[in-house]
A and B are shown apart, each in its own frame.
Chain A
Amino acid sequence: MIRRHPSKKVLRAWLDLEDLPDVDEHVLTCERCSDDLEALAGAEADSSIRRALEEVLAPPTGLAERIEQGVVRRLDSRRVFGYVADLFGAGLETSVLLFDQPEDEQ
């Protein structure tokens, strides 16, 4: 990783998608360079990126209902499994009490 801060010209080239692995690695952790890059890039992104992302990543129709039904099913089955495990654990505990004798009695 390069230790010196890259020049504005190099940062601009990196911002313009040039393949500069050393710079890539440097700017990931350098606060000064990340601030410089923000200044070079200008203001916030235009809203077209947001609109495009919303379009491409749009959730399918009825997602929330489907997910809720699935979650309720999962929680119900886990609860039932918990009861079974409780019964199993209680049975085991009883069997130990009934059949296992303390070591000092043996």
Chain B
Amino acid sequence: MRFLSLIFIRHFGRWSGSPVLWAVPPRIGGGISSSSMLDLTRPEDEDQEADPDDLHRLMVEHSDAVFRLALSIVRDQALAEDVTQETMVKAWLALPSFRGDSSLRGWVMRIAHNTAISMLRTRRALVSDPAEMPEESWVSERSIERRVEGALVVDEFVAALDLLDDLSRSIVVLREIEGMSYDDIARILDVPLPTIKTRLLRARRRLGVALKEWQ
């Protein structure tokens, strides 16, 4: 009895006291900005409420970028939204541990990439029958509307994106849309610099061929 009780208390007692696991959101000193990450400080009082403005700014400034990266990896709109929400929860809770030695955007995108890969693996493990995977188009509603209008041939481009591996799609999104440097991308994806450069070149070539149909 004593032994079991001690084990219980050791785990529950410690967990319940952990500000990270039990989600008392961090207090952010001067607000969140990708250009002013030095404003981020650890909460002085772990029990105080999060500033709704800081949380709001985190969402507004980063959720679109996180969603685009997530969608490029998981290729499923609903799952990409789940990844975005999970990423934001993780980022918010881990914000006190953000040291500011990279940009806040890069840090959030690294969490997003890892979360997307992890949730995609879980989805693939749960769906043993490929026929159960969603077959509908994963592209944005805006693209579908334009396709209905007959204004473009988006299928070629999407097919070319589908042909790329997960890593190449992430690299293309981080470079072409987010405009990140090779070094930042290498840090986010945790791969060597030559891998970033060569994957990007090949991906550009493949997408460029598809775009000839688009234009």
Residues of A within 8 A of B (CB): 14-17, 27-31, 33-35, 37-38, 41, 45-46, 48-50, 52-60, 63-64, 66-68, 70-72, 74-75, 78-79, 81-82, 85-86, 88-89, 92-93, 95-96, 99-100
B 93-111 contacts with A by CB, 8 A: none
Kindly state the separation between the CA atoms of A70 and B16 in the bound complex, as whole angstroms.
23
Kindly state the separation between the CA atoms of A99 and B1 in the bound complex, as whole angstroms.
10
- Of chain B, the residue at the smallest CB distance from A71 is B88
Distance between B20 CB and nearest chain A CB, rounded to angstroms: 10
Stretch at the interface among B27-35, B36-44, B121-129, B169-177: B169-177
Residues of B within 8 A of A (CB): 1-2, 5-6, 8-9, 12-13, 15-17, 21-25, 50, 55-56, 59-60, 63-64, 67-68, 71-72, 77, 81, 84-85, 88-89, 92, 139-143, 146, 154, 157-158, 161, 172-173, 176-177, 192-195, 197-199, 201-202, 204-209, 211, 214-215
* Total A-B pairs, Cβ < 8 A: 174
Instruction: Determine whether the beta carbon of A67 is less than 8 Å from that of B140.
Output: no
Kindly state the separation between the CA atoms of A87 and B192 in the bound complex, as whole angstroms.
48
* B201 surroundings in chain A (CB, below 8 A): 15, 37-38, 41
Cβ-defined partner of A55 (8 Å) among B67, B142, B176: B142
CB pairs A–B below 8 angstroms (18 shown): A34-B194, A41-B204, A45-B176, A52-B211, A53-B173, A53-B176, A55-B142, A55-B154, A57-B71, A66-B81, A67-B88, A71-B59, A79-B24, A82-B21, A85-B15, A85-B22, A92-B8, A92-B13
Kindly state the separation between the CA atoms of A24 and B27 in the bound complex, as whole angstroms.
47
Kindly state the separation between the CA atoms of A23 and B179 in the bound complex, as whole angstroms.
27
- The answer to whether A50 and B6 touch (CB under 8 A), given A63-B64, A66-B81, is no
> Interface majority SS on A: helix, strand, loop or mixed?
helix
